């Protein structure tokens, strides 16, 4: 069980301290943790492991958008429970407050406390479903803020216990007010690829989420089926999905929570090609390293590819770098990262980045080579080829509006040089 | 334009903050909080409470406002209530008395019509944890467990966990409530009941049996957090009830069954069938099983047959089948914790052919919950080590990504090495080649080491690997020469180490590699790398056809460069040249000897004494050139020549023991546990229950009775005992052959180990005993369990404990065979004494000095007796003496504070009674001159170190006195045997362990006075006895065991080890003390005192006290 949860800012300052059990944890532990971050990850908590052993406590941490969620325990507990809980807290707070950063947390600290108190009791998760939480603790919105300014009072605390706490459908509020009677399903895919130094595609797979945004009255029954479910390798589901229909005929049958949620995540492995190619060449001689990176379309997905960027860490021991591109902009960021923003690939020319790196005195050849991270986005296409066959909605008073979308973006797309 | 942008950004920021509580966080104290708290308006009170919350968030202590805040509990507004509760829970522990004021309101709220109010009241009331109100909370929980609202029932389950800390004595009542909640029809409540079960009564698995089937069926419906907990409980239940599954991975004899899709792999490389286990089962799996089920070390040997033939299969046992069926859809959960919990059930219980279904889901969590990746990889590593073929087709998932942190990369590399097979190795190798160019050089060094491991596993690729490694060495040596780069050295050294490891398998066929490496010697400047190459050269100088040909020039080169080398390289040159001389053929011998003589001459004048020593040592062993000035006693000469030759052969020509890459030091805990991540047993870690323990209770009783009988018969004759001891000597010999071999030869033949060994050759002599001791305890523990029981009554003389063969060779003083020496070095004799074998000489303290009290003297000493009134009392012996010549009358001793009555004795009430209290004592009517009367005081110190203020009335006069408590008597002896002790100690590692070093000198004086009389008794024994009696006479503890090393040198006391056990009076928490000695009996001993206790503050204090006792 978790003894306490701390929210730390980017500079290691404790923003929120919430003790969960009677065994109080002194906030000095945060000081220890920050020392550890400085020593082991140069002050970047995202590079610290999720489980850290301190002299007095076991620490779990999850880092999101500049906020470190830190929890402590002294006894054995499933570490994944702690890590998943912290990421759930982060998700719920992001959902509530629209975004997550130091200022937002501080500005809404009362809500953060109320949410934390409701999400965990005695070191064990209590209510973690966003739908239910929103009924117990109101989400801050423009109206309530204005009310607060004008009248000076508005209560964030719901007066009534949500009925759903008792129901079998514990993720959904029973009475959905103001339902606009519509359901949107979107496929959001990330393409993971790895190209080795020889230019061979070592692995290429698509990890996708089916995100549903439902605003349906009553207790609707939804059934979603795919045209080609056999291509899916791995799946995981939102708790609302019934396992039996999937097992027998690969159909998703569920009662959705209200609002936007991730219905399912899946992975399609062993894809054959990537939509674009990135060919880096680095050759070094006599203390100079010539860099040349070519980007182009390999396999046209039929929709425009945009937001293309190529990013790489300059190798250590570089005295100076002089890089230019025939298309897009090249920036060298503070942490020795070179970011080449391409955007669209123009029709008439192939974008290329070229230039020269001067190595430090005494070093003739480059001995370590950077890895290029590629980002792109394609709207309207799921590169894995997964297709939704149909969505049936039952148990609603009138036929709802249904919408479908697809989108692919690059996930861990790496090209080694 | 920029200005406009900036101002609009600022505007949106202002809008964003408007209406939030930002101003309260920024400046919480700009208004008078107490005034606002007393306001009539809810809005003001909310404002004040928010300010307080902001102060709490910022780490300011605002506990002083507690009374004002508590008043607001009665408020009607839910928001005020919630904020007050937040404040209350934060400070209730500090301000217990004020918190009591709120209880009435809670009581009222508990019958509110709004379930939310009831739930909050219950949560807060249980959360403030007041011992005084615990009975009230219990009543409330009982009521709420039958509340119409499921949410309230859920909160009742949570309150049970809180209550259990306060009222452990009510556990049966609590269990009943858990039972009620388990039968609830709301899945949420059942889930919460599982949480309560785990903290209230995790071991009463009998409770589960009537709910088992329903629990399995509700499993998919309950919330994810409860699923994690419930799965674990159900798994424990099934194992305790039905035992393990016959066709599971734990008992699989041939894991190639697991492989699908025609992968051709030689299974021998991972699964070596054992003859020990007997029927079916491979060593790694049985080992794995032992790691999971560790509760009763030793039970495996007695009940081995039971474990190797479990009666259950999934097809015949419904409970197992239903558990597997209900957990398998959970492998699709969105929560990685649930996936891992479900996977571990399948891992332990599912038939081999079904285990593969866990692989896909586990691997998917690596991608879908990146935060969980590190934890999951740690578990995958254990799975992969046991069943590599299961993961072999998925090597792609372990390819390293540039965003992985270093530890994740290291785990992935290890997994890749483990699962590499003939078919996948080309792809894995291509990856490794890419990794070598990675900017993180530490990772590159790991990759290079992984290459060697792969090559050792799959010999067919070793020549490719060597080629690659050689070119890496050449490349690295060229860059490290031109510029100094951080981290490049480790890559170079690791590359050579890897080459060394691969070459070792079949040196003759790789001799060209050795030659190419040696040729490179003048280009490689890195000292560690140089010494490694020189070692390789020396070691394989006689191997193959080509190497002998290059010896002369290389040796000359080494002699030439000797003076310029650093220390470790010099030592290696000396060693290498000695090896060359031993192995060289006649024709070159003279030449080599001349070079050797040159080198030793240089070394003899070296500045460093290690080098000079080594030179002297070698030139004595291998006289080269300028030998024998005195030829007269040639018989003696030739005799010693033979001995030298043999010694030299042994030291330099010793074969490297083939160390397999063993997992024996690799600790394994249950999959998905915190302990598996941190690789030590975290406090509260519980291994799986003993298989079928629920069924076999009566059986085990019978079994223990049997063993008791047999041990009795054994104890009756000492002869069988000593034969057992000799058996144990051989046992330990076989256990760690590799380790002691190194010590015996003292040379640097460390296989597959990194460079630092080269420095520490000299240190080896001190370290090994402690090490081997550990080996014995950890590994031999299981085997010795029975034997330890036997030795419990036994002899105090060391000579009897040593095996006969060892003793003979010792007395003989002949150059003993190394094997015998080793066996003696590592034997540990375990001598057990009962506590009574030591006289306790408690220290006397003065309570009243006769000079101040007109002749009445009172002396006290803490006694080890247990008070007849209550176990919480400390007994103190009081000696009242009349030093006057007159009669003293009416001596009354009483506490300055009111003394306690009998029925209060047993209570551990927290609040008022933190001052020590005294049980009433009889008065002494009269005391004759010079008469001494002994009295027993019984004091309740309430676990505090406050002195007890006494007043002694005598002849009507009052003498105040203070009795200072001794923390060493705040414990009582807790009799336990060694296994129980070690078990307990294992549970109390990490934060519960403290150690300190100190020195022990007492035995020095003792030696002085008993020198003549006790020539033949062992000094170690004396030391052991004197320390034990010192501790026992100053602390109320139980001596569990006393281990003595059976050493080669009489003087060496390293390895002496005492173990004491005790439990804390007030809490009954066990408190273990271990003392380990190092050094020689002739001088002061270095002791390491270690205390393991759950009460860490007390543990630390006790540790300090024990150290002062010893010193």
CB B682 to CB A198 under 8 A?
Answer: no
**pLDDT (0 to 100) of residue B957:** 78
Q: How many CB atoms lie within 10 A of CB A249?
A: 10
Would residue B965 be called left, alpha or beta, if left means φ above 0 and alpha means ψ between -120 and 50 degrees? Answer: beta
Give the residues across from A214 on adjacent strands: A183, A259
Asked if residues A46 and A67 have their Cβ atoms less than 8 Å apart, the reply is no
Does B403 contact A at CB distance below 8 Å?
yes
B971-1110 classified as CATH 2.115.10.20: no
Per DSSP, B632 falls in state S
Apex B88 CA angle, B86 and B92, nearest 5: 135
Q: Decide if A49 and B22 are in contact by the 8 Å CB cutoff.
A: no
CATH number given to A182-271+383-416:
2.60.40.1170
Find where tokens 């030391």 sit. B1023
Check residue B874 and give its pLDDT.
80
Report the run of H or E that residue A341 belongs to, with start and end.
Answer: strand A337-343
* Cα B1089 to Cα A204: distance, rounded to the nearest angstrom: 57
What's the whole-number mean pLDDT along residues B573-600? 81
Residue with tokens 């270093």: B406
Separation between Cα atoms, residue A13 and residue B632, nearest integer Å: 84
pLDDT of residue B256: 41
Q: pLDDT over 70 for what percent of chain B?
A: 71
Q: Above 60 in pLDDT, residue B392?
A: yes
| pLDDT over threshold 50, residue B802 | no
Q: What pLDDT is stored for residue A62 in this prediction?
A: 92
Mutate to test the interface with B, among A126, A194, A412 (most CBs of B within 10 A): A126
pLDDT value for B763: 39
| Beta carbons of B483 and A15 less than 8 Å apart | no
Per-residue model confidence as pLDDT tens digits over B923-981: 777 777 777 888 888 887 777 777 777 888 777 777 888 888 888 888 888 888 788 88
Q: Do B401 and A50 touch (CB under 8 A)?
A: no
CA distance A294 to B264: 41
Ranked by mean pLDDT, the top range of B20-24, B680-684, B786-790 is B680-684
**What is the structure's pLDDT at B845?**
80
At residue B993, the pLDDT reads: 80
Q: What is the mean pLDDT of residues B1080-1099?
A: 81
Q: Does B43 touch chain A (CB under 8 A)?
A: yes
Q: For the domain with range A276-379, which CATH number is right: 2.60.40.1170, 3.40.640.10, 2.40.280.10, 1.10.150.130?
A: 2.60.40.1170
Measured between CB atoms, does B100 come within 8 Å of chain A?
no
- Lowest-confidence range among A90-99, A243-252, B192-201, B752-761? B752-761
Yes or no: is domain B845-965 CATH 1.10.3720.10? Answer: no
Greater model confidence, A369 or B18? A369
- Which has the minimum average pLDDT: B71-75, B98-102, B301-305, B675-679? B301-305
Just give the CATH number of A4-128.
3.30.450.60
pLDDT score, position B616: 85
Q: Using the structure block, give the residue that is written with the tokens 């919408």.
A: A403
CB spacing of A315 vs B439 below 8 angstroms: yes
For B227, residues 6+ apart whose C-beta sits below 8 A from its C-beta are B191, B219, B330, B333, B335, B338, B341
A90 strand-pairing partners: none
What is the structure's pLDDT at B772?
A: 32
Which B residues, 482 through 521, put their C-beta within 8 Å of a C-beta on chain A? 482-483, 485
Nearest to B1100 by CA among B1000, B1027, B1028, B995: B995
- Residue A260 has φ and ψ, to the nearest 5°, of -90, 135
pLDDT value at residue B624: 60
CATH number corresponding to B23-217: 1.25.10.10
For residue B1066 the two structure tokens come to: 């007030």
DSSP string for B44-108: HHHHHHHHHHHHHHTT---GGGHHHHHHGGG-S-HHHHHHHHHHHHHHTTT-HHHHGGGHHHHHH
Residues of B with Cβ-Cβ distance to A149 under 8 angstroms: 18-19
How far is residue B569's CA from residue B590's CA, in Å, rounded to a whole number? Answer: 24
Choose the most confident range, by mean pLDDT, from A47-61, B93-107, B466-480.
A47-61
Q: Cβ–Cβ of A22/B165 closer than 8 Å?
A: yes
Nearest neighbour of A78 by CB, restricted to B82, B114, B672: B672
Kindly state whether B686 is in contact with chain A, defined as any CB-CB distance less than 8 angstroms.
yes
Pick A137 or B234 by higher pLDDT. Answer: B234
- A18/chain B closest Cα distance in angstroms: 8
Question: Which of A17, A72, A78 to probe the B interface (max B CBs under 10 A)?
Answer: A78
Sheet order of strands, B845-848 included: B845-848, B856-866, B874-882, B932-940, B917-918
Segments of chain A with pLDDT less than 70 = 141-169, 174-178
Q: Which of B79, B164, B330, B408 to mutate to test the interface with A (most CBs of A within 10 A)?
A: B79
Structure tokens at A62: 């999850």
- Range(s) for CATH 2.60.40.1170 in chain A? 182-271+383-416, 276-379
CA distance B775 to chain A (A): 26
**Triad B831, B797, B770: Cα angle to 5°:** 50
Residues of B in contact with A194 (CB under 8 A): 399, 401
Q: What order do you get walking across the sheet with A388-394 strand by strand? A: A251-254, A221-226, A388-394
Query: Per-residue DSSP letters for B245-277?
Result: BTTBGGG-S-GGGG--S-----GGGT--B-SSS
- If contacts are CB pairs under 8 Å, which of residues 194-213 in chain B contact chain A? 195, 199
Q: Evaluate if residue B666 carries a pLDDT over 80.
A: no
Binary contact (B407, A234; C-beta < 8 A): no
B902 secondary structure, DSSP code: G
B residues 425-464 lying closer than 8 A (beta carbon) to A: 427, 430-431, 433-434, 437-439, 441
Q: What is the pLDDT of residues B150-168, one digit of tens each?
A: 888 888 889 888 888 787 7
Nearest to A107 among B21, B361, B368 (CB): B21
- Provide the ipTM: 0.92
Best residue of A64, A77, A79, A211 to probe chain B, by most B CBs closer than 10 Å: A79
Is it the case that residue B792 has pLDDT exceeding 50? Answer: no
pTM over 0.80: no
Cβ <8 Å between B220 and A243: yes
- B424, B392 Cβ separation under 8 angstroms: yes
């Amino acid at each position: 069980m978790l003894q306490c949860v701390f929210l730390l800012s980017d500079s290691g300052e404790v923003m929120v301290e919430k003790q969960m059990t009677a065994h109080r944890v002194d906030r000095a532990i945060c000081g220890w943790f920050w020392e550890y971050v400085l020593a082991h990850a140069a002050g970047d908590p995202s590079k610290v492991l999720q489980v850290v052993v301190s002299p007095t406590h076991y620490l779990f941490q999850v880092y999101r958008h500049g906020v470190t969620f830190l929890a402590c325990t002294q006894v054995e507990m499933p570490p994944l429970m702690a890590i998943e809980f912290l990421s759930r807290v982060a998700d719920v707070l992001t959902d509530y407050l629209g975004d997550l950063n130091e200022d937002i947390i501080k500005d809404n600290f009362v809500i953060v406390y109320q949410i934390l108190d409701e999400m965990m009791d005695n070191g064990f998760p209590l209510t973690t479903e966003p739908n239910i939480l929103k009924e117990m603790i109101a989400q801050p919105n423009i109206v309530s803020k204005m009310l607060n300014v004008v009248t000076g009072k508005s209560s964030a605390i719901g007066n009534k216990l949500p009925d759903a706490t008792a129901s079998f459908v514990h993720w959904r509020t029973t009475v959905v007010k103001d339902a606009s009677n519509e359901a949107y399903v979107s496929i959001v895919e990330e393409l993971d690829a790895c190209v080795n130094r020889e230019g061979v595609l070592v692995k290429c797979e698509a990890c996708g989420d089916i995100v549903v945004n439902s605003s349906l009255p009553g207790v609707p029954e939804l059934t979603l089926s795919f045209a080609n479910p056999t291509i899916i390798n791995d799946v995981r589901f939102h708790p609302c999905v019934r396992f039996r229909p999937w097992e027998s005929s690969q159909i998703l049958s569920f009662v959705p929570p209200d609002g936007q949620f991730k219905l399912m995540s899946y992975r399609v492995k062993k894809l054959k090609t990537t939509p674009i190619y990135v060919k880096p060449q680095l050759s070094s001689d006599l203390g100079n390293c010539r860099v040349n990176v070519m980007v182009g379309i390999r396999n046209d997905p039929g929709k425009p590819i945009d937001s293309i960027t190529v990013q790489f860490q300059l190798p250590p021991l570089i005295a100076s770098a002089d890089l230019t591109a025939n298309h897009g902009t090249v920036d060298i960021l503070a942490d020795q990262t070179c970011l080449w923003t391409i955007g669209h690939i123009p029709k008439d020319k192939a974008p290329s980045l070229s230039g020269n790196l001067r190595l430090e005195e005494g070093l003739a050849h480059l001995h370590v080579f950077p890895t290029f991270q590629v980002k792109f986005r394609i709207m309207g296409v799921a590169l894995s080829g997964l297709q939704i066959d149909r969505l049936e909605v039952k148990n609603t008073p009138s036929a709802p509006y249904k919408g479908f979308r697809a989108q692919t973006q690059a996930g861990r797309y790496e090209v080694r040089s | 334009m920029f200005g406009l942008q900036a101002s609009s950004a600022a505007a949106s920021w202002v809008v964003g903050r408007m209406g939030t509580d930002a101003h309260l966080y920024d400046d919480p104290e700009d208004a008078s909080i107490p005034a606002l708290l007393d306001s009539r308006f809810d809005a003001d009170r909310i404002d004040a409470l928010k300010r307080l919350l902001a102060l709490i968030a910022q780490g300011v202590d605002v506990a002083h406002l507690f009374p004002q805040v508590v008043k607001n509990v009665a408020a009607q507004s839910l928001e005020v209530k919630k904020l007050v509760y937040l404040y209350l829970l934060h400070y209730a522990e500090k301000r217990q008395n004020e918190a009591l004021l709120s209880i009435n309101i809670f009581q009222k709220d508990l019958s509110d019509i709004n379930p939310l109010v009831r739930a909050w009241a219950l949560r807060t009331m249980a959360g403030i944890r007041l011992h005084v109100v615990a009975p009230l909370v219990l009543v409330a929980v009982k009521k709420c467990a039958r509340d119409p609202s499921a949410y309230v029932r859920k909160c009742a389950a949570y309150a049970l966990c809180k209550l259990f800390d306060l009222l452990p004595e009510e556990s049966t009542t609590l269990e009943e409530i858990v039972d009620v909640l388990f039968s609830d029809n709301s899945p949420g409540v059942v889930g919460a009941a599982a949480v309560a079960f785990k903290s209230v009564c995790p071991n009463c698995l009998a409770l589960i049996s009537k709910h088992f089937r329903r629990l399995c069926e509700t499993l998919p419906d309950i919330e994810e957090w409860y699923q994690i907990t419930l799965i674990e409980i159900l798994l424990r239940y099934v194992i305790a009830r039905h035992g393990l599954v016959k066709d599971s991975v734990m008992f699989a004899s041939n894991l190639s069954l697991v492989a699908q899709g025609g992968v051709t792999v030689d299974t021998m490389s991972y699964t070596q069938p054992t003859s020990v286990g007997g029927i079916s089962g491979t060593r790694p799996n049985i080992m794995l099983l032992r790691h999971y089920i560790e509760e009763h070390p030793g039970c495996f040997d007695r009940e081995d047959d039971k474990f190797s033939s479990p009666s259950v299969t999934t097809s015949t046992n419904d409970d197992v089948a239903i558990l597997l069926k209900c957990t398998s859809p959970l492998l699709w959960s969105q929560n990685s914790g649930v996936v891992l919990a479900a996977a571990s059930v399948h891992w332990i219980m599912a038939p081999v052919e079904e285990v593969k279904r866990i692989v896909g889901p586990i691997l998917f969590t690596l991608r879908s919950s990146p935060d969980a990746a590190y934890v999951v990889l740690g578990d995958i590593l254990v799975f992969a080590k046991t069943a590599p073929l299961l993961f072999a087709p998925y090597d792609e998932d372990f390819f390293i990504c540039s965003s992985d942190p270093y530890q994740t990369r290291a785990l992935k590399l290890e997994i890749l090495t483990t699962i590499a097979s003939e078919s996948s190795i080309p792809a894995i190798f291509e990856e490794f080649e890419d990794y070598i160019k990675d900017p993180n050089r530490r990772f590159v060094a790991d990759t290079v080491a992984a290459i060697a491991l792969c090559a050792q596993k799959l010999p067919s690729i070793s020549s490719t690997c060597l080629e690659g490694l050689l070119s890496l060495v050449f490349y690295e040596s060229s860059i490290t020469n031109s510029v100094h780069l951080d981290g490049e050295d480790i890559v170079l050294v690791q590359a050579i180490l890897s080459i060394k490891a691969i070459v070792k398998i079949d040196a003759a066929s790789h001799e060209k590699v050795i030659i190419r490496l040696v040729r490179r010697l003048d280009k490689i400047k890195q000292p560690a790398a140089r010494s490694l190459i020189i070692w390789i050269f020396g070691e394989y100088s006689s191997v193959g056809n080509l190497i002998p040909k290059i010896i002369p020039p290389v040796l000359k080169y080494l002699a030439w460069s000797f003076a310029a080398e650093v220390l470790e390289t010099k030592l290696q040159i000396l060693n290498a040249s000695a090896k060359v001389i031993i192995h060289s053929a006649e024709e070159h011998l003279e030449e080599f000897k001349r070079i050797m003589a040159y080198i030793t001459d240089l070394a003899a004048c070296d500045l460093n004494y290690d080098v000079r020593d080594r030179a002297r040592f070698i030139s004595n062993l291998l006289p080269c050139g300028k030998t024998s000035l005195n030829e007269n006693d040639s018989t003696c000469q030739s005799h010693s020549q033979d001995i030298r030759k043999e010694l030299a052969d042994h030291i330099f020509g010793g074969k490297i023991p083939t160390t397999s890459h063993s997992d024996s030091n690799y600790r394994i805990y249950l999959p998905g546990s915190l302990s598996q991540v941190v690789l030590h047993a975290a406090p509260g870690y519980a291994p799986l229950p003993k298989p079928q323990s629920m069924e076999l209770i009566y059986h085990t009783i019978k079994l223990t009775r049997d063993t008791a009988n047999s041990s009795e018969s054994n104890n009756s004759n000492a002869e069988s005992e000593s034969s057992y001891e000799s058996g144990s000597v051989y046992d330990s010999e076989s256990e760690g052959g590799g380790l002691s071999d190194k010590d015996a030869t003292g040379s640097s033949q460390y296989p597959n180990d990194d460079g630092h060994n080269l420095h520490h050759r000299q240190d080896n002599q001190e370290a090994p005993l402690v090490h081997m001791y550990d080996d014995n305890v950890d590994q031999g523990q299981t085997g010795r369990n029975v034997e330890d029981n036997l030795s419990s009554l036994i002899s105090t003389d060391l000579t009897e404990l040593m095996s006969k063969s060892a003793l003979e060779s010792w007395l003989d003083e002949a150059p003993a065979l190394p094997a015998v020496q080793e066996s003696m070095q590592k034997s540990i004799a375990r001598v057990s004494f009962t506590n009574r074998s030591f006289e306790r000489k408690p220290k006397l303290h003065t309570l009243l000095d006769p000079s101040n009290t007109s002749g009445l003297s009172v002396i006290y000493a803490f006694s080890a007796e247990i008070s007849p009134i209550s176990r919480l009392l400390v007994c103190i012996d009081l000696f009242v003496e009349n030093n006057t010549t007159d009669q003293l009358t009416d001596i009354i001793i009483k506490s300055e504070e009111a003394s306690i009555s009998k029925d209060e004795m047993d209570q551990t009430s927290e609040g008022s009674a933190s001052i020590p209290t005294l049980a009433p004592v009889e008065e002494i009517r009269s005391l004759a001159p010079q008469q001494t009367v002994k009295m027993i005081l019984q004091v309740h110190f309430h676990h505090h170190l406050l002195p007890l203020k006494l007043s002694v009335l005598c002849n009507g006069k009052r003498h105040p006195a203070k009795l200072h408590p001794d923390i060493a008597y705040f414990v009582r002896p807790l009799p336990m045997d060694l296994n129980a002790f070690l078990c307990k100690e294992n549970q109390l590692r990490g934060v519960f362990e403290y150690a300190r070093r100190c020195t022990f000198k007492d035995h020095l004086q003792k030696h002085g006075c008993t020198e003549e009389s006790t020539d033949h008794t062992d000094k170690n024994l004396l030391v052991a006895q004197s320390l034990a009696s010192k501790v026992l006479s100053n602390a109320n503890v139980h001596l569990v065991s006393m281990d003595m090393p059976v050493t080669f040198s009489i003087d060496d006391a390293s390895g002496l080890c005492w173990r004491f056990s005790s439990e804390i009076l007030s809490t009954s928490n066990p408190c273990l003390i271990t003392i380990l000695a190092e050094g020689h009996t002739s001088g002061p001993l270095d002791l390491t005192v270690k205390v393991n206790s759950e009460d860490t503050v007390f543990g630390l204090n006790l540790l300090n006290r024990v150290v002062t006792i010893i010193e």
